[in-house]
Amino acid sequence: MKAFVTGGSGFMGSHLIEALLAEGVEVFALLRDPRKPGWLQGLPVNVLEGNLFSLPPLPRDLDTVFHLAGVAKTSREADYYTVNHLGTASLLASLESRGLKPCFVYVSTTSAGGPSSGGTLRHESDLPSPVSPYGRSKLLGEREALRRSRSLPVTVLRPGFVFGPRDKDFLTLLKIIDFGFIPLLRGIPVRASAIYVQDAVRALLRFLRPPVRSGEIYNIAASPPLELEAFSRTLAALLGRKAKAIRLSRRAAGLFTAAAGLASRIRGARQSLNSSFTREALHGDWAVDVNKAARELGFRAATPLDEALAETVAWYRLRGWLNSPATSPPGRGPT
């Protein structure tokens, strides 16, 4: 089997490619700069130099295109639309103009659907109401894919927040907790659907063969959703910290993330906390229903949360990304 992966140098893409290789799939990875293969360094993949707007020649017998390339964190709002919307449109148009009809999997996000309200879970069929430029741009990307669902077998996956080894955004939360604080919103319980990266990869692997129905959207996340306070306390215990909950007003939380974002910008670091993130975070409830994926794909996120977190924290420690010493068994060990 042959798969083409965009975004393979990144967090999720690199885990996906490792899993594809383990399944014996021949992998073609789009890299903007082959001198910066990121997490793909040393893996037996066919590197194709190019980008979403200038695609290199592709094998004609591709089984699946996994489209993960995207911008989730940037200070330039236009970049979200350029890459997530127009980049997706350009990729699809290139496949079309070459007469290629592989199974096309667009990795979107629960941000495209928007937050939940009134303590309910958001379903795939609910009217989308994204609240951030990231979410809006990913929704536009989804629409580009879905409008071709009669000519290609297309699936849109909406993972909740994905965590696991290699992810730098989750590291930001861990570092705040490691510092001794649990940031919460005053008067608003924060909930989010999340998924361990290895579970998200298992969902993706199902699309090495065409889906039963083209044009479907699936939320993929562990169930039940995480309550931020309880989740953060579990993390604090894993880190061996007595972290203190800080309940910020919406205004203070906005100012805090803006200041943190500015600091990252000045340092030239990844902007995990930025205005798009803030707009989402202040909504508080990002819980989704995952029964459609269970019913139609037979997919459920299987890794127990404590195991997934222990593996993730152990990996960060091994890389020296966290300072606090180990206080609990590191699960199955770092990957």
Contacting residues toward ligand NAP, per CB under 6 A:
6-7, 9-13, 30, 32, 38, 51-52, 68-72, 83, 87, 107, 109, 138, 159, 161-162
And the tokens for 55? 């695609």
Min dist CB 242 to ligand NAP, Å, is 28
Instruction: Enumerate the H helices of the chain as residue ranges.
Output: 11-22, 77-80, 88-97, 110-113, 133-146, 168-178, 197-205, 228-239, 250-267, 275-281, 291-297, 305-319
Min dist CB 200 to ligand NAP, Å, is 8
Min dist CB 244 to ligand NAP, Å, is 26
Distance CA 2, CA 64 (A): 7
Kindly tell me which of 118 and 268 has the beta carbon lying closer to ligand NAP. 268
The answer to whether the beta carbons of residues 149 and 155 sit under 8 Å apart is: no
Distance CA 160, CA 225 (A): 9
Distance CA 158, CA 278 (A): 20
H or E element at residue 26: strand 26-31
Upper half-sphere CA count for residue 302 (Cβ side, 13 Å): 6
Pairing of strands 226-227, 191-192: antiparallel
Min dist CB 72 to ligand NAP, Å, is 5
The answer to whether the beta carbons of residues 114 and 134 sit under 8 Å apart is: no
CA 333 to the chain's CA centroid: 22
Q: Which residue is nearest to ligand NAP (CB)?
A: 10
Min dist CB 87 to ligand NAP, Å, is 5
Kindly tell me which of 7 and 211 has the beta carbon lying closer to ligand NAP. 7
Kindly tell me which of 109 and 303 has the beta carbon lying closer to ligand NAP. 109
Whose tokens are 């959703």? That residue is 225
Min dist CB 265 to ligand NAP, Å, is 16
Min dist CB 274 to ligand NAP, Å, is 13
Kindly tell me which of 53 and 181 has the beta carbon lying closer to ligand NAP. 53
**SS3 of residue 118 by DSSP:** coil
Kindly tell me which of 34 and 224 has the beta carbon lying closer to ligand NAP. 34
Kindly tell me which of 32 and 98 has the beta carbon lying closer to ligand NAP. 32
Distances from the Cα of 32 to the Cα of 35, 50, 51, 81, angstroms: 9, 5, 5, 18
Kindly tell me which of 25 and 40 has the beta carbon lying closer to ligand NAP. 40
Kindly tell me which of 48 and 260 has the beta carbon lying closer to ligand NAP. 48
226-227: strand order across its sheet? 226-227, 191-192, 285-286
